Amino acid sequence: MSMEYRPLGVRDRADIAEIARTTWRGHDHLPKMFDEWMRNPECHTMAIVMKDTVVALGCVRLIEEGKTAWLEGLRVHKDSREKGLARKITERLKELAMKLGAKRTRLTTSIDNPIPRRLAESIGMSCVFLLDIIWTANIRRRRQPDKSITIDLCSVDEFVRYAREQTGLVPRNVITYFWYALDATDYAVAKLKEMAGIQFRAAWKDSELVGIALGYPRGPPDNPLWSTTIYPTSKVSLLALLYHQITQCKESGIRALMLEYPSLFTVSVADNYLWKTTRHSLTLGLFEGSL
């Protein structure tokens, strides 16, 4: 069967909607990603088309002034899976990244699912660090942890500087938020400043920095989510910063929270914070490869 490789276009909107309909039980955010791809000059798409229908797709997002090719949105139509198309589109995305002049590829994916991990490894990428992620709803605080830890508001410039200069605080000096990652540079400062409602916090104990966190609302107004990434130096500072993020979440009128933190500090969060519903949890890996 003939196969065509080409960029996506607005004519493919119906195909995108159909792929999304049967992905993540119909809750795929692919249509929103597609809309941004179409208007963002940093996004470069690639699709596999068979019989005038998009059956596989993905996007190379150039970030960090063109140094990094961020691979995202890899999808294969449910009727076209197990035919090697995921491998083919992944290889084409790498080729596209090279043509665009990027120096490296990056992506995040759940390491609990072996398929995307194998795809990343097939184009020479390897996992450089792990993060634990928990989605939860109907949150409520159980108790305040160590009160000797103080949580202060900090600027985005201070947050990035702490990430860059505090040895061992942020894995590989890479700041993560939701499914994205940026090196702790001036570029990250500029990008984070563009995000509406984002706030930064630093945790201190006896004048020593013991953790940093970012948090912000995302999602539709009728179903918002508070997304937070916490970088602690200990389990105690993780729980102190989490307590504060839950407070921010509740004060914003948001009932759902997504917590992201280095797997080094894996804890039973439910021992300290109770919620009625745990939506999902996974271990996220940042994969990277040189071009």
Over the stretch 163-184, which tens digit does the pLDDT of each residue have? 999 999 999 999 999 889 999 9
Query: Bridge-partner residues for 60, per DSSP?
Result: 44, 71
- Residue 74, pLDDT > 80, answer yes
CATH architecture of 4-102: 3-Layer(aba) Sandwich (3.40)
Say which residue the tokens 């105690």 belong to. Answer: 236
CA–CA gap between residue 163 and residue 24 (Å, rounded): 33
pLDDT band at 128 (very low <50, low <70, confident <90, very high): very high
Looking at per-residue pLDDT, the higher value among 142 and 272 belongs to 142
Question: What pLDDT, on the 0 to 100 scale, is given for residue 5?
Answer: 97
Domain 132-290 CATH superfamily? Gcn5-related N-acetyltransferase (GNAT) (3.40.630.30)
Question: What pLDDT, on the 0 to 100 scale, is given for residue 134?
Answer: 86
Burial of residue 21 (number of CB atoms within 10 Å: 0-12, 13-18, 19+): middle
Question: What pLDDT, on the 0 to 100 scale, is given for residue 158?
Answer: 98
Query: How wide is the angle at C-alpha 66 spanned by C-alphas 75 and 72, nearest 5°?
Result: 10
Contact 238, 229 (CB under 8 A): no
Decide whether 4-102 matches 132-290 in CATH topology.
yes
> What ranges do the domains of the chain cover?
4-102, 132-290
Average pLDDT, the chain: 90
Question: What pLDDT, on the 0 to 100 scale, is given for residue 115?
Answer: 87
Residue 218 token pair: 């995302």
**What torsion do the CA atoms of 94, 97, 98, 99 make, to the nearest 10 degrees?**
120
Q: What is the pTM of this model?
A: 0.90
- Residue 250, pLDDT > 90, answer no
- Residue 15, pLDDT > 80, answer yes
Task: Spell out the long-range contacts of 179-184 with Cβ–Cβ below 8 A and sequence spacing 24 or more.
Answer: 179/72, 179/108, 179/284, 180/70, 180/108, 181/106, 181/108, 181/286, 182/63, 182/64, 183/64, 184/160
Question: What pLDDT, on the 0 to 100 scale, is given for residue 235?
Answer: 86
CA–CA gap between residue 233 and residue 160 (Å, rounded): 16
Strand, helix or coil for residue 113: coil
Mean predicted confidence (pLDDT) in 110-125: 91
Query: Bridge-partner residues for 174, per DSSP?
Result: 183
- Residue 275, pLDDT > 80, answer no
- Residue 270, pLDDT > 50, answer no
For 147-159, give one letter per residue: b (16+ CB within 10 A) or e. eebebeebebeeb
- Residue 191, pLDDT > 80, answer yes
DSSP 8-state secondary structure symbol assigned to residue 219: S
Question: What pLDDT, on the 0 to 100 scale, is given for residue 274?
Answer: 45
Strand, helix or coil for residue 261: strand
CA–CA gap between residue 110 and residue 114 (Å, rounded): 8
CA–CA gap between residue 203 and residue 213 (Å, rounded): 8
Could you tell me which of 282, 173, 284, 272 has the C-alpha nearest to residue 231?
A: 173
